[in-house]
Amino acid sequence: MSEERPGGRRRVSKPSRVREASASLAAADFKARCLELMDRVRETGAEYTITKHGRPVARLVPCKPSTKRRRLFGSMKGTVLGFDRPFDPIDGTYDVNPD
């Protein structure tokens, strides 16, 4: 396929394919095959550079597995201020319903 560009030049688009040896791919190809590529990265550890108009804009790389698993209960332990007597009245005047 060819496309007419200003100045009389023609732009010939080549069918692009993602190869195992290829580390970069066009953004349009990435968009079309995103889930497949993410599975491949997870399974094989492959890395891809996504380009737009031939310039690198992003990288798809495997993430490191988390070694420490955080617990839900007790995760806020030690982050709250301590009050010795929380039910004692507050010092000073405090009016809830000012009329």
The overall pTM is greater than 0.85: no
Give SS3 for 3: strand
Tell me the mean pLDDT in the region 71-78. 78
3-state secondary structure of 12: strand
Q: What pLDDT does 84 receive?
A: 75
Q: 58 in helix, strand or coil?
A: strand
More confident residue, 90 or 30: 30
Q: Does position 20 have pLDDT exceeding 50, yes or no?
A: no
CATH of domain 23-62: 3.40.1620.10
Six token digits for residue 98: 């000012």
Q: Is residue 67 scored above 50 in pLDDT?
A: yes
Determine the Cα–Cα distance for residues 29 and 36; give it in Å rounded to an integer: 11
The whole-angstrom separation of Cα 91 and Cα 27 is: 64
In which order are the strands placed within the sheet that holds 48-52?
24-26, 48-52, 55-60
Distance CA 95, CA 99 (A): 9
